[in-house]
Amino acid sequence: MAKKSKKSAVRKKKSRTAKQSKRHSIPKKKHPAKKKMLISVQLTDPASNPAQSHHHNPYEVVLHNFELAAKKIGLNEELAMLIRTPDRELRVELPVMMDDGKLHSLIGYRVQHNNARGPYKGGIRYHQEVDLDEVRALASLMTWKTAVADIPFGGAKGGVTIDPTKLSQGELERLTRAFTSKIDLIIGPSEDIPAPDVNTNAQTMAWMMDEYSKSHGYSPAVVTGKPIELGGSLGREEATGRGVCIALREAARSYRFDLKKITVAIQGFGNVGSHTARILEQELGVKVVAISDVKGGIYNPRGIRYADAAAQLKNTGSIVGLKGGVKLTNEELLELKCDVLIPAALGNQLRADNAQRVQAKLIVEAANGPTTYEADEIFNSKKIPVIPDIYANAGGVTVSYFEWVQNVQRFRWEYQRVQNELEKIMTPAFLAVHRTSEFHKVPLRIGAFILAVERVATAAKLRGI
């Protein structure tokens, strides 16, 4: 008993000290040893770890784009060094009791990339391929994304290496609670605010909020993407898809595509892909001719009705088998003859080995990191504009920001207000990205990175390094 209370006193002291050190932004980088001692943070420089670099390492892809932007604007090397790599990386072991009574040990990560412009912000992914480099890449993308959208957040990401489709609800809940309590020390409404990503949802966020609130008091602002009943924002669930549709609408205006005449193929029919398909069809009158999920895809040149696809998914767990079209694989969908391709599943889908065969005339990146830099070069040479992820899917984090604002203010916005405010961010952001890329004579992605890197570098400089 005495031993136990001593332990908890040490824990409390650690927690206090960690919080104190976080309040002072400067020592964080200058005293790495102290940081390591407090919360067992890994301090390896990811850029110098050859063991983890392979051909399509997603983190390498982000670093490559960062370097192109930094070089183009002649960014000071010391500043570049500071904002390029993550501020903090936490790897945690999660003991989870399975329904069969066996204890499993899972691995989770939280990477905080940069907080120069505001608290760290980024989703939590449950997927069997989650690894540190993927989480680093996604955390870094969040920094640039929040900067492109010009919302007052930094960038972070988290994940657990697990195939969640094999877990029961009870196992998922225990996993989520274990993960939350292990990253509890570094998250918080003013520190780091998680959200859903692949294979996590509003229920996951409700568990996270509840677990965090046990030790910090009722804290809805610690996560976004919550159920409406627990302080979630109206319009958050569809926000990424809505943002993708705004991105496509603005791109169509710039590149002179007639929305009423184009055909669209969407890879992935989860949160982002399905809302994108719905809004394109029902609000913009756009014809979606192909959709897919992890099990495969379907093509119908006459158009796929969202309501039919949603019903098929609800009834069978997949869109495969939907009547009125022909089956196709995910690879075939990416290479389909259509006007617009929207990857809305996972990263690394458009690569050197298939980019040459892509026939779409415009690509809108709803997923994070779907295009490697070799594929980017191919698209540039083929003059296929790529609306980059750090702009195109920023609608999600933007409405997450609105949710956080509502939680902090204890005040709910109406759905229409959420939509209007989202428009006010996404529409000018397209113009800013487009103008920056034209000004520097670079592709849209590098234009978006330039915009973001300049904003983050300015904030870092103003705060004092």
The whole-angstrom separation of Cα 72 and Cα 75 is: 8
Please report whether residue 223 would count as binding ligand NAD according to CB under 6 A. Answer: no
Q: Find the residue with minimal CB distance to ligand NAD.
A: 270
Of 147, 366, 429, 442, the one binding ligand NAD (CB under 6 A) is 366
Q: Tell me the window of 109-117, 160-168, 361-369, 417-425 that interacts with ligand NAD (CB under 6 A).
A: 361-369
Q: Which two tokens stand for residue 8?
A: 């908890």
The whole-angstrom separation of Cα 262 and Cα 302 is: 12
The whole-angstrom separation of Cα 6 and Cα 4 is: 5
Q: Which residues contact 64 (CB under 8 A, 6 or more apart)?
A: 373
DSSP state, residue 154: -
Please report whether residue 422 would count as binding ligand NAD according to CB under 6 A. Answer: no
The whole-angstrom separation of Cα 167 and Cα 173 is: 10
Number of residues lying near ligand NAD (CB under 6 A): 24
* Residue 46 or 58 with smaller CB distance to ligand NAD: 58
157 is catalytic: yes
* Residue 179 or 269 with smaller CB distance to ligand NAD: 269
Please report whether residue 140 would count as binding ligand NAD according to CB under 6 A. Answer: no
The whole-angstrom separation of Cα 324 and Cα 145 is: 38
* Residue 171 or 293 with smaller CB distance to ligand NAD: 293
The whole-angstrom separation of Cα 183 and Cα 160 is: 12
Of 220, 268, 443, 447, the one binding ligand NAD (CB under 6 A) is 268
Q: DSSP letters along 63-123, please?
A: HHHHHHHHHHTT--HHHHHHHHS-SEEEEEEEEEE-TTS-EEEEEEEEEEEE-TTSSEEEE
Catalytic pick among 121, 157, 226, 287: 157
| CB of residue 273 to ligand NAD, shortest distance in Å | 6
Near ligand NAD in 388-407, by CB under 6 A? 393, 396
Please report whether residue 235 would count as binding ligand NAD according to CB under 6 A. Answer: no
Q: Tell me the window of 26-34, 165-173, 254-262, 268-276 that interacts with ligand NAD (CB under 6 A).
A: 268-276
* Residue 267 or 407 with smaller CB distance to ligand NAD: 267
| CB of residue 175 to ligand NAD, shortest distance in Å | 16
Q: Which residues contact 333 (CB under 8 A, 6 or more apart)?
A: 265, 267, 290, 291, 292, 297, 299
| CB of residue 23 to ligand NAD, shortest distance in Å | 30
Q: CB atoms < 10 A from the CB of 78, how many?
A: 8
- Rounded (10°) CA dihedral 376, 377, 380, 382: -110
How do strand 296-299 and strand 155-161 relate by DSSP bridges?
unpaired
Of 271, 312, 348, 371, the one binding ligand NAD (CB under 6 A) is 271
Give residue 93's Cα distance to chain centre. 23
Please report whether residue 344 would count as binding ligand NAD according to CB under 6 A. Answer: yes
* Residue 209 or 366 with smaller CB distance to ligand NAD: 366
Please report whether residue 272 would count as binding ligand NAD according to CB under 6 A. Answer: yes
* Residue 158 or 273 with smaller CB distance to ligand NAD: 273
Sheet containing strand 192-196, strands side by side? 41-42, 88-97, 103-114, 155-161, 120-127, 192-196
Please report whether residue 371 would count as binding ligand NAD according to CB under 6 A. Answer: no
Please report whether residue 368 would count as binding ligand NAD according to CB under 6 A. Answer: yes
Near ligand NAD in 321-340, by CB under 6 A? 330
* Residue 177 or 275 with smaller CB distance to ligand NAD: 275
Q: Which residues contact 21 (CB under 8 A, 6 or more apart)?
A: 27, 28, 34, 35, 38
| CB of residue 280 to ligand NAD, shortest distance in Å | 15
Please report whether residue 290 would count as binding ligand NAD according to CB under 6 A. Answer: no
- Report which of 277, 278, 312 is spatially closest to residue 295, judged by C-alpha positions: 312
| CB of residue 243 to ligand NAD, shortest distance in Å | 8
Of 114, 292, 348, 406, the one binding ligand NAD (CB under 6 A) is 292
The whole-angstrom separation of Cα 232 and Cα 418 is: 12
| CB of residue 272 to ligand NAD, shortest distance in Å | 4
Near ligand NAD in 162-221, by CB under 6 A? 196-199
Q: DSSP letters along 34-67, please?
A: HHHHHH-EE---GGG-GGG--TT-HHHHHHHHHH
Please report whether residue 294 would count as binding ligand NAD according to CB under 6 A. Answer: yes
The whole-angstrom separation of Cα 93 and Cα 131 is: 13
Please report whether residue 89 would count as binding ligand NAD according to CB under 6 A. Answer: no
Which residues are the active-site residues?
157
Contact residues toward ligand NAD (CB under 6 A) are 196-199, 240, 267-273, 292-294, 330, 344-346, 366-368, 393, 396
